[in-house]
Amino acid sequence: MKIQVRFFARYREALGLDALEIEGAFACVDDVRQALLARDGAAVLAEQNLMCARNEDLCQLDEPLADGDEVAFFPTVTGG
């Protein structure tokens, strides 16, 4: 299965890229995150307050995936 992964805000800065395509057997968004955590420099994705989306809809890490889905990771936004 191929998944397009996008990174936003400081995750994009920490990883040094906007997007990538990843292949593997991913049942849910967290499987993609775990695969990325195994890569050098992706420790930022281990944050507890990480937000994610599947096909531009906010979701939880246990959101099921299908071939061709887009997953996005971004930090929580705070305002004041």
Domain boundaries, the chain: 2-74
Q: Is 31 strand, coil or helix?
A: helix
CA-nearest of 54, 58, 32 to 45 is 32
The string of pLDDT tens digits covering residues 11-38 is 999 899 999 999 999 999 999 999 999 8
Homologous superfamily assigned to 2-74: Beta-grasp domain (3.10.20.30)
Q: What is the pLDDT of residue 23?
A: 95
What gap in Å lies between CA 31 and CA 62, rounded to an integer? 9
Q: pTM, whole model, 2 decimals? A: 0.91
